[in-house]
Structure 1
Amino acid sequence: MHAKYQIAYHFVWTPKYRRNILVNDIRKSLVDILYNTCNKYGFEILTLEVMPDHIHIATHGNVSSETIKEYIEGCQR
């Protein structure tokens, strides 16, 4: 039996108290950090939308959603 599948994960993050802080230079830095982290760990960003008070990211990779979440939450400059 053969199987083929593609699992995509959708994550949403919000700053504490959902403050509108994801703008201008912070937004640009965040996008760079997210793309670099995804490249480093070998998974692809399908869509990324940064709003002033939250982030949507859709991705897939060959690891679990929990592992992807840990990589992204642990990313730094």
Structure 2
Amino acid sequence: MLKASDLSKLLFIFYFQAYQDLRCTLPEQYRGCDTKLDLLRGAVEYIRHLQKCLTNDYEGTSAERVGYVQSFTHIIYNE
């Protein structure tokens, strides 16, 4: 059975890895600064951007839309 301090260290490692994964997954313009809060804000902004790209409200050329889709295909295909 894990001690509280061991569990705390393990959770810290998991959170750290999750933030690193998120930082590597987001396109550069959405990564924010070095703080975790800025990283999370960037992730929310990126999700909103993707939602906008998938709705009919998106204003842009089809080439721009293809570019946006290609910008996040690495997430889907784990490239």
Query: Shorter-chain TM-score category?
Result: 0.3 to 0.5
Whose helix proportion is higher, 1 or 2? 2
Whose strand proportion is higher, 1 or 2? 1
The TM-score with structure 2 as length reference comes to 0.33
The answer to which structure, 1 or 2, has the higher relative contact order (CA under 8 A, 6+ apart) is 1
The TM-score with structure 1 as length reference comes to 0.33
**Bigger radius of gyration:** 2
